Amino acid sequence: ETGVTQTPRHLVMGMTNKKSLKCEQHLGHNAMYWYKQSAKKPLELMFVYNFKEQTENNSVPSRFSPECPNSSHLFLHLHTLQPEDSALYLCASSQDAATGANVLTFGAGSRLTVL
Contact call for residue 17 and other proteins (CB under 8 A):
no
**Between 87 and 97, CB nearer to other proteins:** 97
- The torsion defined by the Cα of 7, 10, 12 and 13, in degrees rounded to 10, comes to 20
When binding is defined by CB under 8 A, the residue of 2, 17, 86, 95 that contacts other proteins is: 2
Contact call for residue 103 and other proteins (CB under 8 A):
yes
When binding is defined by CB under 8 A, the residue of 34, 47, 89, 106 that contacts other proteins is: 106
Which residues contact other proteins by CB under 8 A?
Answer: 2, 4, 40-43, 45, 90, 97-109
